Every structure is written in structure tokens, then in C-alpha cells.
Chain A
Amino acid sequence: MSLLQDVAVGEPDPIRAPRVSGSVLRTVGSKVLRAVITLGFVVVFNFFLFRMLPGDPIGLYTRGRNQDAEQLAELRRELDKPILEQFLTYIRNPFDPGIDSTRFSRPVWEMIGERIWPTFLLLGTAIILASIIGIWIGIRAGWKPGGRFDKISTGTTLTLYSMPEFWLGMMLLIVFSVGAFGIPGMFPVGGIVTPGVDTSTPAGWLNVLWHMVLPCTTLTLIYLADYSLVMRASLIDERKQEYLTLARAKGLRDVMVRQKHAVPNALLPTITLIFLSLGFVVTGAITVETVFSWPGLGLLTYEALRGPDIPLLQAIFLLFSIAVIGANLIAELLYVVIDPRVRS
């Protein structure tokens, strides 16, 4: 934890509280407005996108079931309302708790509510771990490019990055869950909690933590390169800057030059990247959720697509759009705060 603080708080200048001026407000206002317009567009687009999917959901569901044509026609009539009427109902309140999934006959937002926390927990933890470790690796590698640490770390993170998620997950599962090469299986094969364990107790939290180790490790290893490479590249750029020569000329030790001068400036693109990737925290990682049977949103999306369960898909995609647009907005606003050049 202290690593990040070291680097982030090291240089007070860029992080000083922004003076609220008219231009800043205008910048912020236009960014928020743009986000809202994008969101509005997505809400409308979402509706028509899923109406274009082929398929007769009723017919497909009931193929091989004991139902006659009149029953099917009746079911179909219930769904077959004029497109305009459907759109007006939808646009009035896309978050209406009364919207039911066609497949599960349950309110879609309630289902999403159940699935969002496992995804949030898993992806959130993985992104935090990956960014902390990635930034640390990036700093070490970027400060001495071509050095031994750089060669090893860049090679390793790139290798991990290019691995298919499900394959890495499956390997970890076989080795650390079932046990192989003399390593005993220590972690569960799948799920988020042992059936019967109450998750509201400390023992329950530890049980969840135990289930989270392998999927979280998989995601962290895969995402590592995202952060370490960006951090490394921007630090390499900073190394050429003349203000560092000045800092050295002042007689500062190398570590001071790095931590107090180079890193805070090199950190800007990485921080943006972290906030952008936070948008994907809710979308889930479908492959890793599949390998480890993690009951998250990624899996729910897959189930919804199999239908296709249009109300559920619509709600999920709306949520994803909000998350991505929201994260983008936060990243842009944060830039205003941390980068004085944007303000002026």
C-alpha cells in the first residue's frame, strides 16, 4: 500500500487542490454533458439493437416440450406488442423493477443485483492488485531499461498477458486445486463459498477469500502487463526530460530523482488507465468466471445470450454502458485534477 503513497504523494505540486475557476467548471460541465448525451444515445440504441436479433424465443424454448400450437401462439401474443409500445414502456423507465426476464421470470434488476457483487469483488481486487504490482514493476523496469530486471519482468508480464485467460486459469486450477507435481490441492475448484457456510460471519468472509485466491491470481497475472508496460514506457519518456538533469545537478540522489520527480509525471497515463479499466469491473471476466464457476455478471450475460433473453440482455448492456461511460468520465475529470496542463 505504502508503495503507491510514496509515489503519489511524493511530489506535491501537481496534486495541489485545483483552483476552481470558470474555465475548469466549463471543462467539467462539457465533459459531464458529453457523458450524459452518450448515455442517452446508448439507452435508445440498446433497445433497437436487441430487437434486431434473429430468433423466435418462444418457439426455441419450447422445442421438444409438451406444448401445442395454441399455447405457443398465446405465449407469443403476450410478447408480441407493437415495437413503438415496447419502446415507450422501456424509455419511460429502463430501470423499472417490474421488468422481468423472459427466461427466469424474475425481475432483471434483482438478478443483476445478486450477480454484481461477486464480479465487483473479484475484478476489483484483481485490478487493484495488478495495478499496484504492475506500477511497481513498471517503475523498476523503466528506470533502467534494458537492465536485468527489465528484461525478466517485461518478458514475464508479456508472456502472461498473451496467455489465454481460461488456459492459465485451468492450469492454476489443476496444480493448486486438484494438486499436481507434488503440490497438494489447497484451493477449491469452483464457486464463491462452500455450500452451507454463512457469508455474514468472519469465517464466511475467509471462506470467500479462500475461493477467490485462484481466480483473482489468474486475473492479476493477466492484467499485470497492462499497467507495467504503460508505466515503464512513460517513465522511459520522462527519463529524457531536462528537468531530471536539473534535479540531478541539484545533487539529488538517484532514488529521489526517480520517486519525487520522474514518477509523479510518468504516473499520469497509468492512473487514467486504471480508472478506465475500473469501468470493466462490472462487465466481468467471462472466461475466468466460467473456469472457476464464479457466479458473476459475465456468466449471467452468457446465460442471457443463450436465450436470447432480451429484457435481461438489455439491462445488462445498459449497466455495462453506464459503467464504461462513468469510468471514462471519472478518468477525464481526474485528469483535470492531477494534470495542471489540462486546466490551463
Chain B
Amino acid sequence: MIRRLLVGITAGAIALAPAAVVPQAQAADPVVFTVGMLGDVDSLNPFTGILAEAYEIYQLQYATLMQPSSTDFTPAPGLAESWEESADGKTWTYTLRPDLVWSDGTPLTANDVVYTFNRILEGRYEKTNYGNYLRNVTSVTATDDRTVVVGVSAPSPIMERLAVYILPEHIWSAIDGKAVKSFANEPEGGQPLVGSGPFLVAERQDGQFIRLVANDTYYAGRPKVDELIFRIYNNPDALGQALKKGEVDFAEGLTADVFSTLEGVEGITTYAGAYSGFNELAFNMGAALSDGTPIGDGNPHIQDLAVRQAISHAIDRNQLVDKVLNGYGTPGSTIIPPLYSTLHVDPGTQNYDPALANQILDDAGYAMGPDGIRIGPDGVPMSYRFFVRSDSATSVKSGEYIKSYLAEIGIEANVKPVTEDALYEIIGRGEFDMFEWGWVVEPDPDYQLSTFTCAKRSYKDGDTIYADLSDSFYCNPEYDALYEAQSIETDQAARADIVKQMQQMIYDDVAYVVLYYYDNLEAYRSDRFTGFVGQPEGSGSLLFQYGTYSYANVQPVGADTGDATASPGATASPGATDQGNASGETASTSGGVSTGLIIGLVVAVIVIILLVVLLLRSRRSASADSRE
């Protein structure tokens, strides 16, 4: 009897719960857009943070002088409405938009820009994250409130791509060069941080969420949602479930299997956006220090162009995209992804062709041995160390496929899974033949191109050899000359031509076999929000872009354009219950509290009933026992 009563009450509570969590839609409820992501921000201090999640917050909080456009990543106005290079290339003049103000009402002037730049140029700690953008800068002056004049030592194309967050001098001048190291830059006393971007950080709970509010003074107009919350999930499956339930409106950086389960779910749109990253099979092209001193123990076979060409022809890039990325990516070619349409060149000659690969090896004197492994002209079998990253499932999987591709042309790859930490050191010392890893390429190609210059090979500090940026040890004076030429070419079209030649050179010399360009997997509640802008539009990522296009444009479904007060709960759709849940979960007003309260009470009641039942049962059985 008691048991039946318990079942009845529990069932009642369950029936009650969904009804209780649908809050009253009120016109005053803020529109909250919630993003679920898989990693926390390491620091809100833009001089400290290094993770992608942190930079996503920085660019929402602090505007930059310019930002890569949403169409093709060419420089587009930010705080600066225009900029100009002097005829000799030694001076850049930036003109700020008129009437800029910080979110606290203080005018944002050229002095803030000068302050920020000088802080980076003069501060030891501040230099770490942004110094490279300003490496040619010799002087920074404000000629009036809206004009910044910057002197440079040489023509510098990077001056059109300054991804430097302009900081409010009236706030940051109180934090000196020593205090900045441990400065958390977190909001205090309920006041949002002073900023100039579309949203302002209002609250942060470590490991849980970051809440931002719309900035009324944003130069491109107040965003169409009132609050933006980033919630941190530590597990891709949980993130997918949270989107299904409606706890988040947008899921960022999903894994392929979770992404697949969300496809076709009502109210959810999945979006595989082109991304700026690639993974490669890299070769040890003759490890050496930057001064040319040989290091390491790479197999000399690998330095033979024929061997690398044969390997490139042996790899089925299409199959890797299908099997390793579940189809969410495109086959690789050069070191600048096709996402950057103005820079990427399509060389397209090293097709999958095992027969041709075998032919190349035969012609180059690598004869097939009795056990299916070819023997080099030096009498040494073609058996190479091939490192993959044990921390990455895709790396391990790629490794298996590549091993089998190479086996088909008589090359033995001894797959060695190691952690990224360990691999980084192994590469730096040149103690490898091949490895699998990847890069994320910035809109400005300089950094990526520099990784193949002679100067970026390993270096010695004391007795220890440290890795620099080069991990293929490619060294070609012709390439280095082109690198120098592009680094001082401020005409974008002319620079693009040089960059294309350089890509072609790396491709033809096969320093890397670029395996694939992977997609960024995102999914969102299209029954609730709309207005996302991809970068590039139509094919690129919706969030985690070089810019804040989606955040500035996202709006509730059904809302009149520009009407930011509409409640998401007002939109009728089959997912109405989910919506109710979501508003209850994210809204900071009555909805969330009363939902929590009711559910909490229900739980408490169930627990108490359970305890009472247990107690009664133990009493009853006790008396039953005593009758025995």
C-alpha cells in the first residue's frame, strides 16, 4: 500500500514538473542567447589568456581598430573608419569613427589607442600576446582625438590587420606592469567590465559560465539580444543533450559523432562550417639548427624528393575525410586553407595514385624487397618512425590509415603514439622521420609562412636544443627571399601572388602532405534564434570567427527586426515545452528561480517520502522478524 502511494506521488510530481517550468512570458524578460562550449576561458585578462575561448570573449568585450571582413577576411573597419599608408611605407595614419564612447560613457579617443600600443611596446609581460603585431612599430602618437599616427621601420602589411584589443586607459592605467600579471579583469560589484565591443562581461563563475550583457554604446549598434551566456560543458555528449533539451541555444565545437546525432532533430540546425585549420603528415627534411648545424637522426631517404612525392601519391585524402572526419572536411592541398579564398592556391596534382607512387619509387632505385618492404639505393629498408599524437583520436586514426597506404607501396611506417608534449620535444631535436599534427592559420599568412623559413629551425640555448616554429626543417633560400618580399608588400593583390608562389613551392617540394581541412561543427536551435553570419558568409564558422558578426546579428525567431524586447517564449513552435525549459534555465528573473524552487521542493518531498517508507518498512519487518 505504501509502495503504491509512493508511486502515485512520484508520478504526480513528474506530471507536475513540466507544467511548472513553463514560465510566464513577460515583455520585460531579457532575451538571452546561450552558447554551450567545451572549454573554459583561462583568463579574462587579454594580456594573460591563450585559449581560443578567451579570445572569443576578448573580441566581444574590446573592439579592435579593424577586423577581417565576414565575406573574405580582407581588412574591414572597426574602431577605425579608415587608415592610410604613407608613400614611403614608413607611416600609418588611422582615423577613428566619430563620437566613440566606452560603455561607462567616457569618450574613446586616439589616446586610448596610443596608451594600449605603448603598453604593449614597453611592457615585458604585455608584449607576450600582442608584441608580434607591433614588431616594426617605432612610434605612436595621437595628433587629435580621432587620429593616430604610427611610425614603422619598414613597410608592414600587418598594420592593416592589428588584432590588438584597445583598452580603456582610464581603467587600465591603475594596473601597473607588475600587477597586470595576476590581474584577473573580472567584474566586481555587479558592474560589467568597461569595454567597447558588442557585449560586456557581467559575471563569471569559474568552470561554469560567463555572462555578458549587450553594450548600448557599441559603434555598430546595440546587439539584438540582451544577454549572451557561455556555458561550459566538459563532455561533448552532454553538450549535445543540452542543445536537445534547450539548455543552450548554440553548441560550439561538437565532435563528429555527437553532431551526427543532432542531424534531423526538430528545431535544431546542424552546420559544418569551413574552418581555418589543417592537419598534415610532416617529414624530417634534414633537421638542423637555424645556423645550419645538423641535429637529430632522421632517415636520409626522407630527404629524397621522390620518396616524399611517392608518399603524397599514396595517400587517399578523400578517404581520410570520410573515415577520420566522418565527411566533415575537405581533402588537403596547400598550407593556406581554401577558406582564405584570396590567398589559397589550388595546385591539385598529387592525386591518389598508388600505381604512380610505386612507379616513382621503382624509377628512383627503391627496389621491392622479399618481405614487401622496399630497399633503398643505400641498402637500407624503407622503414620509418611515424609519430602520431596519443592525445588525439583523429591523429591515431589517421596514423592507422597512413600506415596501410604506405604498406601498399612497400614502405613500412612504425607508428609511435606519443603525447603532444613529448612529440613537440622530439620534433625540436629532429629525432623523427614523419609525424602527424596540425595548424590553425590566421587571416594574415605571415606566421604560417614563417614556419618553413630557415631561420625558424631549432635553436640552442645553453646546451639544450629548443624547437622553434619549423617542424619540417624545410630550408630553401628561394622560399626565404619570397618570405621577405611578402612581409614588406603592402599591396594586398601583389602580396597574395607571392603567397601563392610560396604555397606552390612547399607543395611541390612536399615538405608537408596536407591531409585535410577540417570543419568546425556547430548546431543551434533554429526554432528560437536566427540571423547568424558565417565567415565567410554561407560556408564558414558561425561563431569563433575572426570577428563578432554572428553575435551582433543574432536575434530571436519571429522578432521584428530591431525589436530586442520580444520574449523567446512568445514564438509558437512544436518545441514549446523545450523553450519553456530553456527560459527557465537561463533567464535570470523569476522563471529560473521559481523553476528551481519547484523542482527542488519536488525532489525534497520525494527524498523525505523515500526515507519514511524505508523507516516504516524496517519497523514492519522488524516486528515480523520478532514473531518468528
Contacts and interface: CB of A to CB of B under 8 A. Distances in A.
Do A and B associate with each other? yes
Interface of A: 1-3, 54-56, 59-69, 71-76, 100, 103-107, 111, 114-115, 136, 140, 166, 170, 173-174, 177-179, 183-197, 203-207, 209-210, 213, 253-256, 258-259, 289-293, 295, 299-300, 303, 308
B39 to A, nearest CB: 9
Contacts of A63: 424
B147 to A, nearest CB: 27
A105 B45 contact: yes
B597 A293 contact: no
B128 A186 contact: no
Given A173-B238, A206-B597, A293-B234, A56 B424 contact: yes
A275 to B, nearest CB: 23
A73 B460 CA distance: 10
A179 B124 CA distance: 53
B172 interface: no
Nearest to A298: B234
Contacts of B242: 189-190
Given A196-B592, A209-B604, A3 B421 contact: no
25 contacts: A3-B614, A56-B421, A56-B428, A56-B466, A59-B466, A66-B132, A67-B128, A69-B459, A71-B128, A105-B45, A106-B184, A115-B207, A177-B245, A189-B242, A190-B233, A191-B209, A194-B585, A194-B586, A195-B205, A196-B588, A203-B593, A254-B628, A255-B623, A255-B625, A255-B626
A256 B232 CA distance: 53
B131 interface: yes
A197 B208 CA distance: 13
A60 B208 contact: no
Given A213-B603, A253-B625, A253-B626, A173 B241 contact: yes
A209 B447 contact: no
Contacts of A105: 43, 45, 48, 181-182
Interface in B83-97: none
B153 to A, nearest CB: 15
A210 B182 contact: no
By CB atoms of chain A within 10 A, which of B577, B587, B588, B593 has the most? B593
B238 A189 contact: yes
Interface in B399-458: 419-422, 424-425, 428, 439-440, 442, 447, 456
A331 to B, nearest CB: 27
B98 interface: no
B587 A210 contact: no
Contacts of B129: 65-66
**Candidate in A68, A185, A194, A254 with the most chain B CB atoms within 10 angstroms:** A194
B425 A56 contact: yes
Task: State the 9 A-B residue pairs at the shortest beta-carbon distance, nearest first.
Answer: A196-B588, A206-B600, A295-B207, A55-B421, A207-B596, A253-B626, A66-B132, A189-B242, A255-B622
A295 B593 CA distance: 21
B616 to A, nearest CB: 11
A103 B48 CA distance: 9
Nearest to A100: B182
Contact of B207 (A55, A76, A299): A299
Nearest to A291: B235
B118 to A, nearest CB: 18
B581 interface: yes
B42 A104 contact: yes
B207 A59 contact: no
B355 interface: no
Contacts of A256: 626
A196 B212 CA distance: 11
A193 B596 CA distance: 9
Contacts of A189: 233, 238, 241-242, 245, 247
B384 interface: no
A64 B439 contact: yes
A75 B466 CA distance: 13
Given A55-B422, A67-B131, A189-B241, A107 B182 contact: yes
B467 interface: yes
A71 B603 contact: no
Given A66-B447, A207-B592, A303 B40 contact: yes
Nearest to A307: B421
Contacts of B235: 166, 190, 290-291, 293
Interface in B572-612: 577, 581, 585-589, 592-597, 599-604, 611
A292 B247 CA distance: 13
A106 B614 contact: no
A210 B603 contact: yes
Contacts of A170: 237-238
B127 interface: yes
B211 interface: yes
B220 interface: no
